[in-house]
Amino acid sequence: MNWLLRFVPEDKRQMILLAQRIVSCLDTAEERNAAILYGQAMLADGKVSVSEWARFGGKLGILKGRH
């Protein structure tokens, strides 16, 4: 995948790398899949509410004190 990132603009590349790091911190494939699916659904309409951010943080383990 790293060779593909060379063709992506720098700002997009950094977002992809950040997303990879966040998702890699999750313990199980189920946690990763749940976070990815929720993130996609959350961003589908182009707007994110405070409660959606909070729920997403919970899925990432941020609000549980794991990270």
Q: Report the C-alpha gap between 42 and 12 in whole angstroms.
A: 19
Is the distance from CB of 67 to CB of 61 less than 8 angstroms?
A: yes
**In this predicted model, what pLDDT tens digit does every residue of 29-50 receive, in sequence order?**
888 888 889 989 999 999 999 9
**What pLDDT sits at residue 5?**
86
Does the global pTM surpass 0.75?
no
Is the distance from CB of 12 to CB of 19 less than 8 angstroms?
A: no
Burial class of residue 46 (count of CB atoms within 10 Å of its CB; 0-12, 13-18, 19+)? exposed
Dihedral sign from CA coordinates of 25, 30, 32, 35: negative
Domain boundaries along the sequence of the chain:
2-59
Q: What percent of the chain has pLDDT over 70?
A: 91
